Amino acid sequence: MASAYEALLEFVRETGQLAAIQELLDWDQQVCMPPKGVHARAEQVGLVAGLVHERLTSPRMGDALAALTEPTGDPVADTNIRETRRAYDRAVKVPGDLVREIARTSALAHEAWAQARRESDFPTFAPFLERLVDLRRRVAECIGYVVEPYDALLDEYEPGMSTAQVAELFAALRRGLVPLVQAVAGAARRPDASILTRHYPIDAQRELVLEISRAMGFDFEAGRMDVSTHPFTSGSCPGDVRLTTRYDDHFLPSALFGAMHEVGHGLYQQGLPAEHVFTPMGASVSLGIHESQSRMWENLVGRSAAFWHCWYADVQRRFPDALADVGREAFLGAVNAVSPSFIRVEADEVTYNLHIILRFELEREIVQGRLAVADIPQAWNAKFTELLGVTPPDDRRGCLQDIHWSMGAFGYFPTYALGNLYAAQFFSAARQAIPDLDDRVAGGDLRTLLDWLRENIHCHGQRYRATELVEKVTGQPLRVGPFLDYVRGKMSPFYGLR
């Protein structure tokens, strides 16, 4: 007879497989589903989401967990039991009808958001957003919280992290970043970022993106790359990881760094232990840790002098009309230029976290009922002007730019800035462990860093919570200082700052 743990594990794996089916339905909707399929898809994802919830909250799951109250001494088993119990304890508090309604509404809201974004018309999306806000508030009330409802939603994406902790970190970030943005704005020396808005044929961009993705270590026999309105990564298992990017023939970073970002996510997915697929030990720690991988590859590697020492001649060869008269140092300055912009996914490293602070502060107000959905565009623009000194000219480049609210993903945005903080500490630790890392990157070797990430982060699955993992890898708790030191040090030469 199978042990209680073996019985639990079998059920957990089956539930994970069902959740992976739901993820594939979501990927298909965003990448290749015909627009008229949205209503049928809404019913499909609602059905599957309900089935996942039913299994997760079933008496079979509860009975299996009730039989496993003592530590086993096996870190794999104890991790799977602990994280399954956490998921079960959250899920049993939320009615299945509510889960199905969120999935159905999100599928419909995605199409409404896409249309509203195209037309820069927030009122088209507003009714769907109001419904999703109400549904997510109900989830927070069902789960419960000690201080504020946002805590319950944040914990879904960054387990163990409280709203108060995020607010404290973000306050320190704001104090460090706003003066830096102001100093850069007043600097006499400035890189020429217009280099990146010349004509870059999309076919050549696509070939470049694929070559860099392979050099980073992404396995295209275990993944693929497509195009979507909003770049994302979907990974049902290490052997099936779906990436998307988007192309703009007059803005090279959109596809180039967007792809490096998503490949960073994809490498994490492909690096999770395949023998533990569909269990917590085969899953990522948190969205913040996931984001640390994408932002590390996109920025700390992709925008580094070492990376472009290796790759610039190749990029210049692919785009001779745009870059024939541009030296490597000028190009490096362009890809690191700091300028307040409207679009989060195209923001520079200095201003990016201010985009996240804006979303975090607005989300707290929305969830708490202090900000009405109808007032979001005005509140967005006012806070954007306060933080970044410019005002979005329309809703498309303002409050409609992100897909997340159409998914009902309140509590998700803070993980992006947390990812930047994690990434800075991880990369510093990698440099200490690999003293010649920059030389290796300059010589075209990106696999040494990937190997280090696999050995220190990817292989652990959910054995450690995010804050525990950071301390294990870096010897320090999560701090703002390493990130601020990194961006100040990097930007000073480009802008002549002291």
Per-residue pLDDT tens over the stretch 375-428: 999 999 999 999 999 999 999 999 999 999 999 999 999 999 999 999 999 999
Nearest CA to 388 out of 364, 360, 416, 353 is that of 353
Are residues 140 and 168 both part of a single domain? Answer: no
Structure tokens given for 80? 């799977």
Average pLDDT taken over every residue of the chain: 95
Distances in Å between the Cα of 71 and the Cα atoms of 75, 77, 82, 262, 278 are 9, 9, 9, 37, 21
Report the C-alpha dihedral over residues 2, 58, 19, 151, rounded to 10 degrees: -120
Are residues 135 and 176 both part of a single domain? Answer: no
**Mean pLDDT throughout 99-103?**
93
Question: Which tens digit of pLDDT belongs to each residue from 248-278?
Answer: 999 999 999 999 999 999 999 999 999 999 9
The reply to whether 481 falls in a domain is: yes
Q: What is the CATH number for 441?
A: 1.10.1370.30
Question: Which tens digit of pLDDT belongs to each residue from 432-447?
Answer: 999 999 999 999 999 9
The reply to whether 158 falls in a domain is: no
- E strands, 246-338, where? none
Structural domain harbouring 220: 163-495
Buried b (16+ CB within 10 A) or exposed e, 465-480: bbbebbeebbeeebbb
| DSSP labels, 177-236 | HHHHHHHHHT-S----GGGGGS---HHHHHHHHHHHHHHHT--TTSEEEEE-SS--EEEE
| CA–CA dist 72, 81 (Å, integer) | 10
Element spanning 245, H or E: strand 240-245
Are residues 140 and 185 both part of a single domain? Answer: no
Nearest CA to 287 out of 393, 415, 159, 186 is that of 415
> Residue 230's pLDDT is what?
80
Question: Which tens digit of pLDDT belongs to each residue from 293-323?
Answer: 999 999 999 999 999 999 999 999 999 999 9
The reply to whether 313 falls in a domain is: yes
Active site amino acids = 262
**Mean pLDDT throughout 15-29?**
93
Are residues 84 and 219 both part of a single domain? Answer: no
| CA–CA dist 260, 224 (Å, integer) | 14
| CA–CA dist 309, 332 (Å, integer) | 9
The reply to whether 87 falls in a domain is: yes
The reply to whether 248 falls in a domain is: yes
Are residues 127 and 174 both part of a single domain? Answer: no
The reply to whether 85 falls in a domain is: yes
> Residue 375's pLDDT is what?
98
The answer to whether the beta carbons of residues 437 and 430 sit under 8 Å apart is yes
Residue 1 has pLDDT above 60, yes or no: no
Residue 3 has pLDDT above 90, yes or no: no
| CA–CA dist 94, 91 (Å, integer) | 5
**Mean pLDDT throughout 361-374?**
97
> Residue 142's pLDDT is what?
97
Nearest CA to 257 out of 344, 190, 189 is that of 344
| CA–CA dist 100, 105 (Å, integer) | 9
The answer to whether the beta carbons of residues 322 and 194 sit under 8 Å apart is no
The reply to whether 330 falls in a domain is: yes
The reply to whether 83 falls in a domain is: yes
Q: Among 110, 144, 178, give the residue marking a domain's end.
A: 144
Between residues 231 and 462, the one the model is more confident about: 462
The answer to whether the beta carbons of residues 30 and 38 sit under 8 Å apart is no
The end-to-end CA distance of the chain, in Å, is: 70
Are residues 342 and 437 both part of a single domain? Answer: yes
Are residues 240 and 134 both part of a single domain? Answer: no
Edge-to-edge order in the sheet of strand 223-227: 223-227, 240-245, 233-237
**Mean pLDDT throughout 206-216?**
98
Between residues 231 and 267, the one the model is more confident about: 267
pTM for this entry: 0.93
Are residues 51 and 182 both part of a single domain? Answer: no
Are residues 384 and 459 both part of a single domain? Answer: yes
Neighbours of 47 (CB within 10 A): 15
Question: Which tens digit of pLDDT belongs to each residue from 37-84?
Answer: 999 998 999 899 999 999 999 999 999 999 999 999 999 999 999 999
Fill in the amino acid letter for 371.
L
Question: Which tens digit of pLDDT belongs to each residue from 137-155?
Answer: 999 999 999 999 999 999 9
> Residue 346's pLDDT is what?
84
Are residues 453 and 361 both part of a single domain? Answer: yes
CA dihedral sign, ordered 416, 422, 427, 430: negative
> Residue 2's pLDDT is what?
58
Confidence band, pLDDT 50/70/90 cuts, at residue 235: confident
Are residues 125 and 272 both part of a single domain? Answer: no
**Number of separate domains in the chain:** 2
Are residues 117 and 172 both part of a single domain? Answer: no
Residue 246 has pLDDT above 90, yes or no: yes
